[in-house]
Structures are given as C-alpha cells and as structure tokens.
Structure 1
Amino acid sequence: MQIEPIIPTAAQKPSSVAVANQLEQAFLEEMLKYCGPGPSEGAFSGGAGEEQFSSFLTREHAGLLAERLDLGFAAMLEGRA
C-alpha cells in the first residue's frame, strides 16, 4: 500500500473586491441593527420567533444592500495595499 504525502496547495487570496464586499456587508449589518426595521407589534407580530431570527433577516438585508451600494471600501483597500 502506497500512501501519498499530503501537500497543501497554495491558498488563493480572495480578491480585494470580495473582501471589500464582505466588509461592506458587515458594516451595513451593524448599521441596520440600530437603525433598521424594528420588530413588529400587535396581532401580527412574530413574537419570540421574530426576536430569535431577526439577526438572519438583518444579515440578508445587509447583503442585498452591499450588492447594490458601493461604499468605496474596495478603493480604500487597494490604496493601502
């Protein structure tokens, strides 16, 4: 039986655009936590489930906004590199 050594492949660096998009999404997610849509109230509120899963909705909103907005993080990252 022959066992081949495991040779790690060179890890690809993510592009600065991909990193900037992730950074923009994280930034927007933090902003939406404080000034985004709040929980519903009244008869049609989500109750405890809405409280538990509201972070997922906030993350999705931030992702959609990051795709549509350019906050200039990519240009800032390229300028520092």
Structure 2
Amino acid sequence: MNGLKFIQKIKDIFGITVQNEESTKKQTIKELLKKLKLRRITLKKELKDESDLIKREAIHDSIKIIKKQINKGKELLDG
C-alpha cells in the first residue's frame, strides 16, 4: 500500500482529519500515526472500564485493527 492510499484509508475509516493538508506525505503519516496511537490508548482505557462481554470483544477487535494500521504506517515511514 502506498503512502497516499494509506493516508486516505485512515482518514476514511477513522474519520481523522489532518490540520495542514499541504504538508508532506511523511508529515501527514506521522500525524495520523500519532492520532491512531492516542485512539488506541483511549480504547485500552475503555476496555478496562467495560464489563459487557460483547462490547469488550468489539473494543479488543478495534484495538487490533488500529495496531495493524500503526504498523503499516511505520513501514511506510521506514521504506
């Protein structure tokens, strides 16, 4: 997946907006990764407080998806 497809996919899936649309691709990916990491932390906190089993599984699945997206973003930055 190239950088632009990754950026657009993350924006669409998670509803994340980037402040400066004119920034470079790497800066945009870094900003999206930062927001994904913050979202992951928020979900982990929600997971601790949630007692409903079905909701816990849904949150856990969301955390897994975000983790995969973070890894893809890191690969794009390194590559």
- With the length of structure 2 as denominator, give the TM-score of the two structures: 0.32
Q: Which has the larger radius of gyration?
A: 1
More helix by share: 2
